[in-house]
Every structure is written in C-alpha cells, then in structure tokens.
Amino acid sequence: MEAIYVLGVKGGIGKTTFSLYFAKRLSLMGKNVMYIDHDYFSFGSLILGHNDLGLLEEIERNLPIFSRSLKNIDNLYVLKLFSNPLNINKNYSLLSNKIQQVLNSILKREVDYIILDSSVGILPDNDIVMALLEELEIEKEGVFLSDMLSVNSTIKYAKLWENNIKYKVLVINMVPPIPENLSEAIKIANEVYNNYNELFNAAIVVQFDEKMYNYNPIIAEYENEKLNSILLSILYRYNTLK
C-alpha cells in the first residue's frame, strides 16, 4: 500500500481535480483506491456524490465510525473527514486508537493506494487524522501543486514535508486567472528542478485544459497526458518529465 498526497499552499489550484483524477486512473488500472477527502468543505466528496457525515462528526455524535463517512462510489472508497468545518480544531485524540485500528484493518485488507486530497497548507501533524496517517508507516509520495504566484511558498512548504514524503513532484498548474504564459512557467519549473533537486524528484507544468474544468470522474471519461505522466512518474519513480 502506498499513499499519494496532493498538497498545496493555496486553494483553487487543482488539488481536488488532480486527486480525483489520480484516484480514477488508478482504479481503472485495477488498483483498489481510497480517496481521503481532507478538505474542510469536502468539495471532492460532493463531486462524487458523498453528502453524508464526515468521520469527525461520526465521532462527535457517537455513531459507529466509518458507518457514514466511508462509502464505495464508482469503485472507489471515499472517506470524508469533515462535514462541519467548525469542528476541525476539536481534540479527538482520545478516540484515535480505535479509529486507527479500524482504519488500519480496512486499508491493509483492501487498499492499494490512498489518495489524500488535502486542505490548504496541511502538515504531517496538523490534526489527528494526519497524525493517524503518519502512524500507518506507509510509503508516501507528494504532488505539490502550485500556480505561478505561489512557487516560492510551495518550495518552503515542501521542505516541511521533506522527512515524511519520499518522492515529490512539483506541479505548476496554469489555473485561471493567471495569464497563460507557458514558456515562463516552463522556465520556472526547470529552475526549480535544477536548484532544488534534493527536494523535488520532478517538476512539470500542466496547462489549462477546458475539459479539466469542472472535472467529474463519474460523469466524464477524460484523460490528460500531463496528469498521466505525473502519475506514472510516481508509480515508477521517473526523475524527468516532459
């Protein structure tokens, strides 16, 4: 089992889109995938049609854990963590042991890949859920998403993950409203790759793609060459990307 963390310091830069895409592709490749929605507003779950409670609210209401937060949708396990953003700072640590045991057993039995769709600027010990994932002792890869404005912050952010994530890819995603200055973006990606080769194993630019806008893996069969190559680079540890 491995985990791909999709991370970034900004909202609206493609974390959910990429996470859903990777989850869907891996699933089509025959892998058992768990999509973990760590967005406080559960946007990815919503896209997949998971409108039920999140794990932390199950705990808070004393409901059986994973009875409502974990669903099987379109051949994916979808685990929603938050359904009430106001609860995110509550301390659930007393219950962590039990959750961890159950989560561990589900993952060990049935899951090849975890895709973590994270909230902005999440850190390995940000909250109880991240701490639980850290304790699972699985190999982790990180896709660090950035737009052209947030590259420097993304580099700093990736450094905070240096010891927790083995293989890291920097992605400059050309999301709106950034002007489509592709050659500039490619230049920046190359510079980052050359100057931070200890930190990032690969760096790549993903262009704005009309078909990716409002991507929903259940509704649309859609493939993007760049996203495929990011995924393959993770699976096979390629260090250079086109």
- Contacting positions for ligand ADP (CB under 6 A): 8, 11-17, 43, 173-175, 206, 208-209, 212-215
Q: Judged by CB, which is closer to ligand ADP: 96, or 150?
A: 150
Omega into 85 within 30° of 0, i.e. cis?
no
Q: Residue 146 binds what, of ligand ADP, Mg ion, none (CB under 5 to 8 Å, by partner type)?
A: none
Give the shortest CB-223-to-Mg ion separation in angstroms. 21
Helix ranges (H only) for 29-148 are: 43-48, 55-60, 96-110, 128-135
DSSP, collapsed to helix, strand or coil, labels residue 72 as: strand
Span 15-54, contacts to Mg ion by CB under 5 A: 15-16, 39, 43
Give the shortest CB-95-to-Mg ion separation in angstroms. 26
Q: Does 147 bind Mg ion (CB under 5 A)?
A: no
Give the shortest CB-125-to-ligand ADP separation in angstroms. 21
Please give the Cα distance from 45 to 38 (Å, whole number): 10
Give the shortest CB-95-to-ligand ADP separation in angstroms. 28
The identity of residue 224, as a single letter, is N
Quote the tokens at residue 220: 């649309």
Binding site for Mg ion (CB under 5 A): 15-16, 39, 43
